[in-house]
Structure 1
Amino acid sequence: MTDIKYTRRHDLPLAQAKKIAQKTADDLAEEYDLVSEWNGDTLHFHRAGVEGHMRVTDSQIDLNVKLGFLLKPFKAKFEQHIERHLDELLDKAKSTHASAKAPAKKGGRGKA
Structure 2
Amino acid sequence: MRSFRWIMLTVAVIIFDAAASDASAWGKAVAIPLVEGFAALWRGEYQAAANRLHGARYIANAFGGSHAQRDIIDWTLAEAIANERLALKPHSFVNRSFLSRAGAVALAGLRDA
**Does TM, normalized by the shorter one, top 0.5?**
no
Higher relative contact order (CA 8 A, sep 6+): 1
Judging by fraction of residues, say which structure has more helix.
2
Q: Please tell me whether Structure 1 or Structure 2 has the larger radius of gyration of its CA atoms.
A: 1
| More strand per residue | 1
